[in-house]
């Protein structure tokens, strides 16, 4: 093996500019792959954090009331069976579906694999009244510390407080406050769809950048929401956050098949987000595949030229006893050397470019600091790029190496 490695090293050194260009081709391929993978991965993480982050991964609610046919309704009101006929069953609407014994249910749900945190709460539609103006809002009530782990808003708080609010406090978006002419500390009247009204003090204002959330979403404590929606000690839903948000569909199916409750997941309700992420992944893989393919063709072309240039040397080596396997090993080691050197240079280039991009600031809301590019230094991306490039380079080197090993020394020396 010492003979093959020594000869391969001499070939690379004697190649001069040709070797440098081949190494640069590999380095550029590695740089582009790492850059594309890191950039798209960072965009996806920000995309998921912004759109999926505020959403519960799985939501558990009480099951819908069983549908009742008209003949059973007739019997219930004292009419003769068969007085009404219906071709199908329809769900009952406007039925309260509260969760009783929800603390025991929390314990059961916590046992499912992948569940990181859960929070019970009461939510529903209501009207916020300020003077003569009425604004439709969506109320979410629960323990602030638990809700924060489900739908984090502390980072988006602009004024006031959130985690230590009391049963007479409410937190809303800045846009809603501006539309209603509300300032921090003002009292507002909130009336639920059950007709219950409560006067609550505005304890905090948040700004998420999502117009729908900032204009419609309000938060309060669990006690305030239970009183507002007349649920007593019950809750209307239990929200779950998972270790892997993309496992929400599978976990929801497991819960639904085990417990008699209605279970929804963000994957089901927001399938367009998952489709967008899958589309990004497909685009990323195609770009990287074409970059690898172009790099492999360039390396193969250079090595083929190298074989042609060194044909006479190869013929002499085989004439003095070099075996086909040794010649094959020489040119394979050349390809491996080019791949290792190019990968090292490419990783350094990629790291430098990513560090420069990571320092580019972005204009943020209310003076908050932010970065234009969400750069993630993932060793798996670097390792994957190097591994794929090594494989592509060795594959590209195999054809010219095989051609070199099959040269006839007599014909080469005679033709040289």
Is pLDDT larger for residue 18 or for residue 258? Answer: 258
Q: Is the pLDDT of residue 12 over 80?
A: no
What is the structure's pLDDT at 410? 62
Q: Check residue 176 and give its pLDDT.
A: 93
pLDDT of residue 63: 85
Residue 55 has a pLDDT of 83
Q: Are strands 169-173 and 237-242 parallel, antiparallel or unpaired?
A: unpaired
Tokens of 111: 């046992």
Domain ranges of the chain: 2-52+274-415, 58-84+95-266
Give the chain's end-to-end CA distance (angstroms, integer).
28
Place of tokens 């020394």: 409
3-state secondary structure of 91: coil
Other beta carbons less than 10 A from residue 277's beta carbon: 18
**Among 120-134, 149-163, 208-222, 316-330, the least confident range:** 316-330
DSSP assignment of 217-271: EEEE-HHHHHHHTT-TT-BSEEEEEESSGGGHHHHHHHHHHHSSSEEEEHHHHTH
β-bridge pairing 187-192 and 217-220? unpaired
Asked if the model's pLDDT at residue 239 lies above 60, the reply is: yes
What is the dihedral sign for C-alpha 125, 128, 134, 136? negative
Q: What is the pLDDT of residue 376?
A: 81
Helices (H), 359-408: 379-405
What is the structure's pLDDT at 278? 78
With a cut of 90, say whether residue 319 has pLDDT above it: no
Q: Sign (positive/negative) of CA torsion 332, 337, 340, 342? A: negative
Q: How confident is the model at residue 212 (pLDDT cuts 50, 70, 90)?
A: confident
Is pLDDT larger for residue 416 or for residue 38?
Answer: 38
The three-state secondary structure class of 107 is: helix
Q: CA 120, CA 173: separation in Å to the nearest integer?
A: 22
Position 182 scores a pLDDT of 92
DSSP code, position 371: B
Greatest alpha-carbon pair distance for the chain in Å reads 112
Distance of CA 351 to the CA centre of its chain: 22
Question: Hey, what CATH class is 58-84+95-266 in?
Answer: mainly beta
Cα–Cα distances (Å) from 160 to 151, 164, 167, 186, 260, in that order, read: 18, 10, 16, 12, 41
Across 32-55, average pLDDT: 81
Structure tokens at 146: 């638990």
The tens digit of pLDDT for each residue in 168-183 reads 999 999 999 999 999 9
pLDDT given for residue 81 in this prediction:
56
In this predicted structure, which of 264-268, 305-309, 333-337 has the lowest mean pLDDT?
305-309
pLDDT over 90 (residue 84): no
pLDDT band at 235 (very low <50, low <70, confident <90, very high): very high
**Given this model, what pLDDT does residue 291 score?**
78
C-alpha angle 129-134-137 in degrees, rounded to nearest 5: 85
Cα separation, 277 vs 292, whole angstroms: 23
The stretch 146-156 carries a mean pLDDT of 90
Averaged pLDDT of the chain: 81
User: What is this structure's pTM?
Assistant: 0.68
Instruction: Point out the least confidently predicted range of 39-43, 56-60, 108-112.
Output: 39-43
Q: What is the mean pLDDT of residues 306-323?
A: 68
40 pLDDT higher than 80: yes
* pLDDT the model gives residue 139: 94
Could you tell me which residue, 72 or 230, shows the higher pLDDT?
Answer: 230
CA atoms within 13 A on the CB side of 296: 17
Residue 125 has pLDDT above 80, yes or no: yes
């Amino acid at each position: 093996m010492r003979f093959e490695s020594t000869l391969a090293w001499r070939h690379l050194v004697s190649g001069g500019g040709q070797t440098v260009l081949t190494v640069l081709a590999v380095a550029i391929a590695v740089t582009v792959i790492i850059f594309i993978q890191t950039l798209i991965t960072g965009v996806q993480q920000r995309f998921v954090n912004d759109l999926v982050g505020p959403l519960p991964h799985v939501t558990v609610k009480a099951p819908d009331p069983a549908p009742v046919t008209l003949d059973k309704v007739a019997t219930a009101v004292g009419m003769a069976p068969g007085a009404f006929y219906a071709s199908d069953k329809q769900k009952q609407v406007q039925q309260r579906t509260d969760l009783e014994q929800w603390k025991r249910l929390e314990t059961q749900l916590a046992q499912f694999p992948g569940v990181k945190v859960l929070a019970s709460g009461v939510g529903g539609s209501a009207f916020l009244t300020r003077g003569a103006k009425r604004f439709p809002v969506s109320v979410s009530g629960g323990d602030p510390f638990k809700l924060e782990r489900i739908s984090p808003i502390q980072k988006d708080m602009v004024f006031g407080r959130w985690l230590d609010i009391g049963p007479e406090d409410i937190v809303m978006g800045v846009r809603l406050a501006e539309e209603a002419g509300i300032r921090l500390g003002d009292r507002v009247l909130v009336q639920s769809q059950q007709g219950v009204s409560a006067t609550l003090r505005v304890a905090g204002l948040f700004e998420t950048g999502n117009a729908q959330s900032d204009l419609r979403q309000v938060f309060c404590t669990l006690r305030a929401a239970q009183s507002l929606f007349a649920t007593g000690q019950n809750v209307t839903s239990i929200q779950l956050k998972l270790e892997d948000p993309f496992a929400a569909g599978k976990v929801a199916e497991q819960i639904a098949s085990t417990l008699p409750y209605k279970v929804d997941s963000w994957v089901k309700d927001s399938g367009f987000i998952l489709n967008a992420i899958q589309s990004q992944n497909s685009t990323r893989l195609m770009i990287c595949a074409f970059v690898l393919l172009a790099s492999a063709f360039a390396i193969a072309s250079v090595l083929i030229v190298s074989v042609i240039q060194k044909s006479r040397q190869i013929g002499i080596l085989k004439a003095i006893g070099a075996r086909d396997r040794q010649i094959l090993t020489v040119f394979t080691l050349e390809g491996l050397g080019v791949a290792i050197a190019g990968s090292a240079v490419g990783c350094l280039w990629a790291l430098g470019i990513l560090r420069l991009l990571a320092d580019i600031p972005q204009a943020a809301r209310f003076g908050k600091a932010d970065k234009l590019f969400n750069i993630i230094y993932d060793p798996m991306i670097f390792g994957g790029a190097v591994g794929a490039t090594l494989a592509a380079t060795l594959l590209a080197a195999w054809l010219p190496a095989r051609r070199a090993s099959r040269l006839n020394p007599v014909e080469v020396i005679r033709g040289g």
